[in-house]
Structure formats: structure tokens, C-alpha cells
A and B are shown apart, each in its own frame.
Chain A
Amino acid sequence: MSGLLELENAHARLGGVEILKGASFVVRPGEVVALCGPNGAGKSTAVRAALGLTPLTQGTARLGDHEARRLSERQRGERAAYLPQDRSIAWNLPAVEVAALGAPFLTGEAALERARAALDEVGVGHLVDRGVADMSGGERARVLLARALTVPAPLLVADEPIAGLDPDAQLLVLERLRARADAGRGVLVSLHDLSLAARFADRVVVLDQGRTTAEGAPTEALSPSILKTVFNLDAVWLEALDGPWLAARRLSPHG
């Protein structure tokens, strides 16, 4: 089956520094792909490159059957919903209007309808009319997730959507992404929590220093040797109540 998103041997530079040096991954309909890697591995750049927002110096990025950089803004918006890491919202709009920004091509009422449903879905249905500046960080993160869920696109790309959230909210966000995939859409999500990645993703892509170094079923891609060389962890996978769980300790400083 062809991919909704395909990054192949991507190289990219930011401010003169080569951030991506051979990143590759595919996201197909119906699957959650977790993008994992230490800080500075190039996850956010890879996500942006895959969407055609960062130019490549080598390799290709495709969204559906088109090269990402050749798409018009509208075509890109129709192919992928993007939830960036940055959660700042410039003005104090009510939650429902922020969520409705996910569907800029629908009429006002239809977009608001979808937005209300999405806010309900992420558990902030009671806050539809609350200004986003009057919310907690966790509530705002959910409103922004609702915005991404409102986008009528076959692919959802979320860059560290659970960073800074409480455990309950982390599980809720990942459950919603999982549900999207189970409903036939594709999901690419970058995550630092490897246990949650293993529980919610169909496949894990490990990025290290701008390169894809492992890819496959979660506990295979995150094998003890990868955990050691890429993440500097002495770790084993345990079987817990609801899936694999990583027991890990730090290795002594490199070398």
C-alpha cells in the first residue's frame, strides 16, 4: 500500500548546520508511527521536512502521490493536519474558534460544529466558550489537538503532543491519535516516552543524529542495543498490564 507520507533519505540544513543526514520513514493509512530519538536528533526538522515546510538538500518528501514541496498550500492542508510543538496562541480567542481554525474552507457554522465535536472528543467540551488565555497549559494543549482533529485530512502529524501534560492527559491524547488510525487515517507522532510509544504505535522509527537508525515493531526497533547506543540506556522491556513497559537506567557517561 502506498504511503500517505514518505520521507526518503532526507538531508536538510538549518542555519548552515546539517540537521538531517538520511532520515527515512513512511506512514500508511490506519497506522500510528512514532518518531523517537534523543533531543537534537532532528525529529522536528524531519516532521517539517516531511510536510514540505523545510527544504531538502537531498532526498525526497512525498505527501500522497506528490512531492511535498511542489504542493500548493491548499493541497498540503488537504493532505495533512499538523500539530506543531509550539503551543503559543497569540490572541485570547474562545476555544471553539481556535479549534474551528482546523477547517478554514468550511462555512463558519459547519466548522464550528466540527470544532465542538473535536473539543468534546478531547475532554474539554465544557470549555468551548472559554478564552484560551484563561486556560491551563494542559487545557490549551487539548484545544490545539482538537484544532488538528478538526482538519479533514487523511494524515495527522503531531510533534511532541504530550510534552508537559499530566499522565491522564498524555493517555487521552494518545488514545485519540490511536482512534484516528483505527478509523483508517495515518498518524505520525514524535514522542520521548518510549513506553507510551511502544503501547500506542504500530511502528517506531528511531532517529539519531539526523539518520534513521532503526525502524519496525516498537520493541524490535527499540532493541536493547539501540537503547544503549542511541539513548544511552541500559534497559529491558517488561510485560505490564496494558502492554510493554521499559525498565531503564542511565549508562555511565559515554565511553
Chain B
Amino acid sequence: MTGATRLNIGLGLALVAALGVAVTLGETAFSAGQYAEALSDPASGPGEVLWLVRAPRAVCALLVGAALGLAGAVMQGLLRNPLAEPGVLGVSATSALAAATAIVLGLAAIPGAVESAALFGAAVGGGLLIALAARVRAPEALILFGVALSSFAGALTALIFNLSPSPIASAEVMNWLLGSVENRSWVDVAWVAPALLIAALLARAAAPGLRMLTLGEEAARASGLSMGRMRVLALAAASLAAGAAVAVAGVIGFVGLAAPHLVRAAVRGDPGRLLAPSALAGGLMLVLADLMARMLPTDQELKLGVFTALVGAPLFALIAWRAAREWRL
């Protein structure tokens, strides 16, 4: 068994354990009898709490985290840059802009409208990036374009707040932008799961090209692999994954940046083999983060996006400190 396989199995087992804990623990403490009731009769009171409230929420956290971890790993490989993350190319921002627009227009009541809008926004952002990447190859140019796209979409989102006639709609958008998997149902799981699956397949097809890109653009172009095809696959995978995450949970930072770094050393830096463990690590991070966010004794439940940034930023500084020695940044 290779090191990467062992890592994936280990992360998978940790994920199952984390899901178990996330379904078991909650604000309402149950007795042993109530747990037994929940397991034997899912329609009972405790059963509904476990299977219709906690379970879909935990699975949503898992899928959103996995999507962010995957998108981050693809971005870092494509841009050959350990600082890249799903947000850096502006796809999260265009996705959030489209979702915010849908909310302000009062479409949130229509099931799936905000989710569809977020995916549409991601598709527009991703499409622009793919069109640009067909013309310029320098990763720096792509990053600069992404920064511009991100700023522009962010400015338009701010404009929505600015011009919004109703403070209630503004608050709703704000609340959504902070990022959360609170009150998510199996319907949300059904939204994010297929998108993540397609993104994973696209990313997998891009993996050999991402690995080849380790040698730099010039050597990779003459290697025999199609770098143009790889770029389209990678950008489509990252955009779809980032869009799916935003569609279900709003904007959640740091997971996409940090997850690849947690597992990079274990796959010896290989950007192709990094994809699966980075997705698993992202899922694990978000399940645990959501568990902690809802278990903390605060009056108002901490928003997941706020929590990941609060915990993630110092943690990431630590990872960066250690990794800097590892790959001599």
C-alpha cells in the first residue's frame, strides 16, 4: 500500500468517526435510552433530531469542506503557488455575488433558487478564467485577473448592500455571506454532492497534468501531455467545487487554503496525489469546526465562516511557519 493510500484510508476513518461524534453530540443532551430510540425509530423525537437535523448538517459540513479542500489543492497545483485558494481567482466572489443578488430579489423563498444562482455565478467566473487561460499561460497573469474579478464582484456585492431598499434583505445577505451550515437539510446535501462528484472527476483527469506542471510551464508544454486541456479541466473542477460550497454554505475561508498544506508533506508534494487527501482533510476540518462552533456556549451560535477564520488564521500561521522550513519558501 502506498503512503497516499494509507493517508486516504486514515483520513476516511477519521471522517467517519468525526461524523459519528457530530451526530451524537448537540445542544440537547440525550440519555442512553433516547439514543436507542433514535437508532431503532428514526421517526421518533430524538430520531428526528439526529437524522433530520444533526446528520444532514454534519454531512453538509463534510461535503462543503471537501469541495473547498479539493478546489484549494487544484488551485495551488495549477498556479504552482502555495498561497492559492478557491477565493484567489474570484470564483467564490462571483458565486457569492450571484447568490446575494438572488436573496435581495426575494428569490430565497423559492427552493434551490439561491443555490442555482451561486452555481451560475461560479460558472460565469470560471468561464471567464477559462477563456483567459486559453490566451495567457503565465500563472501570475491568471492570479492578477482573478484578483480583479474578485474585487469587482466584491464591489458589486457591497453595492447591493449600499442600494438595498430593505435593511431586512441586507441582513439576510450578510447573514448568508458569513457562511454557515446551520439548518441544512438532505436537500442541501443533494445539491452539493453531485457537483462535488463531477468536480472530483474533472480534477482527477487533470491530475497528471498538474503533476507535470511541477517542472514549470515550458517543460510541461513539451512533455507530451496537453496543458491546454489540463487547464480547462482544472479550472472547471475548482470553479464547480468552489461554487457548490458557496451555494450551500455561503463564504467559508481558510479551509481551501489550509487543507492542502495539512497533507502535502504526506504525499511528498505531488500535486496530483494531493487532491483526494486534501478533499478529505477539508471535510474533516469543517465537520470538526462546525461541531465546535455549535458546542461553544455562546448566546448567538457562531457562524461557521467566522469560526473557521478565527481558528484557521492562527493555525495557518503555524502551518506556514513549519512548512516554510519544509519547502524553503
Contact = CB atoms under 8 A, between A and B. Distances in A.
Interaction A to B: yes
Given A86-B218, A104-B212, A91 B225 contact: no
Interface string A22-66: 000000000000000000000000001001010000000000000
A233 B140 CA distance: 40
B37 interface: no
B26 interface: no
A246 interface: no
Interface stretch (B116-124, B198-206, B264-272): B264-272
A144 B211 CA distance: 15
B268 A101 contact: no
A71 to B, nearest CB: 10
Contacts of B212: 101, 104
B224 A98 contact: no
B3 to A, nearest CB: 11
Given A84-B218, A90-B213, A97 B270 contact: yes
A18 to B, nearest CB: 21
A84 B270 CA distance: 21
A142 B271 CA distance: 22
A86 B216 contact: yes
B214 interface: yes
A133 B329 CA distance: 10
A88 to B, nearest CB: 6
Counting chain A residues whose Cβ lies within 8 A of the other chain, the interface size class is 20 to 34
A92 interface: yes
Contacts of A93: 214, 268-270
Contacts of B226: 72-74
Counting chain B residues whose Cβ lies within 8 A of the other chain, the interface size class is 20 to 34
Interface string B203-238: 000001001111110110111111100000000000
Contact of B224 (A77, A83, A84, A86): A77
Contacts of B299: none
Contacts of B221: 53, 73
A101 B218 contact: no
A147 interface: yes
B216 A97 contact: no
B218 A88 contact: no
Nearest to B269: A91
Contact of B214 (A51, A82, A98): A98
A247 interface: no
A101 B328 contact: no
Interface string B144-187: 00000000000000000000000000000000000000000000
Interface in A66-123: 72-74, 76-78, 80, 82-84, 86, 88-94, 97-98, 101, 104-105
B294 interface: no
Interface of B: 80, 208, 211-216, 218-219, 221-227, 264, 268-271, 326-328
26 contacts: A51-B222, A53-B218, A72-B226, A73-B221, A73-B224, A73-B227, A74-B224, A74-B225, A78-B224, A84-B218, A86-B218, A86-B219, A89-B214, A89-B216, A90-B215, A90-B216, A91-B80, A91-B269, A91-B270, A92-B269, A92-B327, A101-B211, A104-B225, A131-B268, A133-B327, A133-B328
Given A53-B222, A93-B268, A133-B327, 13 more contacts: A73-B224, A77-B225, A84-B218, A90-B215, A90-B271, A91-B214, A91-B264, A91-B271, A92-B268, A97-B270, A101-B215, A101-B223, A104-B225
